[in-house]
Structure 1
C-alpha cells in the first residue's frame, strides 16, 4: 500500500454541486453511504437513519458540521457525481491494497441488477461487468454496460482500469473476441477464454479435433478430478494441446495463442450410468498444463458463487431499485467497496449479512471493518 486511504482516493471525484449551496461535504456523504451500506442500509432513507444513529461515531472520520443530510440530498448527490470517476478511484484503491501475483486468476463476468428494471419508463435493468480476484475474493473494478450495448464493449473499458500484469484473465464465451484478447495481452496479462457458437469457425475446429476417446487415452496431457455429494458424483476431465496446427489458420488470428483445452464434466446420479456429459472448449495465451487449465476454469466460476450469489443473498442487490441518473451505477460500486471490506475482515467468522448486522449495531466492529484495507 502507498499510505493513501480510500477517502484519499475518493477525493479525486469532483463535486458537481454549486458550491455556495453546499451544506454537506461530498466526502462526508460518500463516507456516510459506504459506512451505512457496510452496516446493512439498502436505500437512501436507511442511510439517513444510520447517519442519525451514528453521528458521534461518524464525526471521528469526517466533519458533518451540519449534521446528517436528508435522504433526498444523499440521493441527489449520488445521482450527480461521475460514475467514471468513482470507478477509477475504486480501481486505484484496489491496486494499492491488493498486489496481484503471477498466475492469479482474475475472473470477468457481468451481472444484471434486476430491481433496476423500470417497465413504466421502458428502461432496461442496469448491467454491471466486474473483475474478481478468485484467490483473494475481492472486486478489483467494475463498469456499467452502455444502453443498447453488451459486455463486449464494456470489458475493454474495465480492463483499462485494472492492474493485472502477470495475471490470468478468465472470461466466458461472450468475451471470446480477438480485440479483447489483444487488450489483455497489452495489459501484460494472459487470457483464458471459453469458446462457444459466437466463434463458429473456432468451435468447429475444436469439434473436428476432439473425440471422447481422447479422454480415456494415456497419451497427451490430461488431468481429472472427482467430487461426491448429495447422492451424485461429478467427474471433470481436462486435456490440453499445444500443437495448434489442428486449428489451421485460426491459430494465427488470436494473439500469442499457446494452448487449446477441453474440459468434460460427467455427472452420475446414484448408481445410475452417467448420461450427462458437458463439454467446454478453451483457448489461452498461457502455456497451461491440463491441471492448471482445469483449476483456472473452475476458479472463474467463483465470481458467480463468491460474488454475485453473495451480493444477491447477503446484500439483496437484486431488490435494490435505485437507478436514477448515475445513482444506480454508483450505488453498485459502493456496494462492492462494502463487500470487499466485509470480506477482508476475518476476526468474525460469519456471512456477509451477519457481518453487516454486527457492523450496524457495534461501532467498534464497524471501525475494524473500515480499517481493514486502508479506509481510515
Structure 2
C-alpha cells in the first residue's frame, strides 16, 4: 500500500447535495454499499438490511450518526453520483494498492449488463469496458460505454487513465484499431491484438500467408500444449514470425509492430476422430518481440477476463440479473461489484470460491474487516 486507502479515496468524492439537507454522508452511503455487496447484497433493500444488521461494525469505519439510510435514499444517492467520478476513484485506488510486473498481461474487454436492457425502448443496456490483470486476477479499471459498438472510443479513454508501463495489453478483434495501438505504445506498454474481418486487408494478408504446412516445417518458431480432462482433449499450437514481409506495406500502418503470429486450437471429444469444425485459427499482431510460447500464453491469459471476471460476476454477484438503471446507479453498482471482487480475490486466508467468501463476510464481521485490510481498503 503506497498511498490513500479506499476509505480515503471515498471521502475525497465531492458531495453535490445541499449540505443543510444531508442526513447521511456520501462517504457512509458508499462505504455501506461496497461492504454490503462484499457481503452478498444484490439490491437496495438488501443493502439497507445489511446496514441494519451491521450498524455497530459500520460505525467503526464511518459516522452513521443517524443510523442506516432507507433503501430509497441509498438508491437516490447512488443514482445521482457521477459514474466517471467513481470509476476514476477505483482506478486511482488500484494504482495505490496494486503494482503490475514487467511483461504481465492486461486484458481489456467489454461486458453488457443484460438485466438493464429496456424492452420498451429496445436499448439502454449498460455496457462496461474493463481492464483486468490476468496475473493477479483483479480489475484495474473500467468505463461505461453507450453501446457495445462504442468500445472503440471508450478503450483509448480507459487506457489514458491506467498505468501500463512494461505490460502487454491484449484485446479481441474489436480493439484491433490503429488509434488504440498507438495509445498503448504512448503508455510505454506493448499491444497484442487479435485480427479478424474488421481489418479486412490485414486479415486477407494473414489468409494468404497461412498454410497448414507451417505446423510441420522448421521455417517458423512454434510451440504447442495439450490438455486432457472430462473426456476432452484440447491441443493448442502457435507460430510466430518477426519477418513482417507477409503483411507488405500494411506493416507500416501499425506502430512499432514486431511480431505476427497464428494460434490454432483443436478439440477432440471422447477420443473421436479429428473434426475440421473443432479446428479454430486466430491471427495476431504485437509490438512485443514474442516467442511462440509467449504468444500462446499471452493469448490464453487474455481469456481469463471471461472466466475469472465476467463469469464470476454473473455467477457469484448475479450481475446479469440486476435491473437497476436509475440515473447512474447501474454503473456505480457495477464499480462496487468490481471493488468487492478485487477484495474477495485478494484474500488468500480462506480457501473458497467467491460466493462462499461473500456468505462468510456477510455473517462474520472479523472476516469482513480482514478483507478490507487486505487490499488497503481501510
TM range (shorter): over 0.9
Residue aligning to 2:162: 162
Q: State how many pairs are aligned.
A: 376
Please report the TM-score for the alignment, with normalisation by the length of structure 2.
0.98
Question: Structure 1: how far apart are the matches of 2:279 and 2:22?
Answer: 61
Contact kept? 2:52, 2:68, Cα under 8 Å: yes
Counterpart secondary structure, 2:197: coil
Equivalent of residue 371 in structure 1, options 366, 370, 373? 373
Residue aligning to 1:247: 247
Residue aligning to 2:230: 230
Question: Structure 1: how far apart are the matches of 2:353 and 2:217?
Answer: 44
**Displaced runs of 4+ in structure 1, greater than 3 A?**
none
Contact kept? 1:13, 1:82, Cα under 8 Å: no
Equivalent of residue 282 in structure 1, options 266, 281, 284? 284
Residue aligning to 1:24: 24
Residue aligning to 2:132: 132
How far does the alpha carbon of each residue in 1:7-55 deviate from its partner, in whole angstroms, 9 at most, with x for none? 1112332112111100011100010001100010000011011101110
User: Runs of 5+ in structure 1 lacking a partner?
Assistant: none
CA shift at 1:232, angstroms? 2.0
Residue aligning to 2:334: 332
Contact kept? 2:231, 2:271, Cα under 8 Å: no
Matches within 5 A, 1:113-262: 113-147=113-147, 149-262=149-262
Residue aligning to 2:355: 353
CA shift at 1:355, angstroms? 0.6
Residue aligning to 1:273: 273
**RMSD of aligned C-alpha atoms?**
1.1
Contact kept? 1:33, 1:47, Cα under 8 Å: yes
How far does the alpha carbon of each residue in 1:163-221 deviate from its partner, in whole angstroms, 9 at most, with x for none? 11100000000000000000100111000000000000000000001101101112321
User: Runs of 5+ in structure 2 lacking a partner?
Assistant: none
Counterpart secondary structure, 1:142: strand
CA shift at 1:3, angstroms? 3.7
Counterpart secondary structure, 1:107: strand
Contact kept? 1:14, 1:81, Cα under 8 Å: no
Matches within 5 A, 1:6-85: 6-85=6-85
Counterpart secondary structure, 2:12: coil
Question: Structure 2: how far apart are the matches of 1:158 and 1:375?
Answer: 23
Counterpart secondary structure, 1:150: helix
Question: Kindly tell me: are residues 122 and 232 of structure 1, through their superposed partners in 2, closer, same or farther at Cα, counting changes over 3 Å?
Answer: closer
Counterpart secondary structure, 1:198: helix
CA shift at 1:348, angstroms? 0.8
Please report the TM-score for the alignment, with normalisation by the length of structure 1.
0.98
Counterpart secondary structure, 1:334: helix
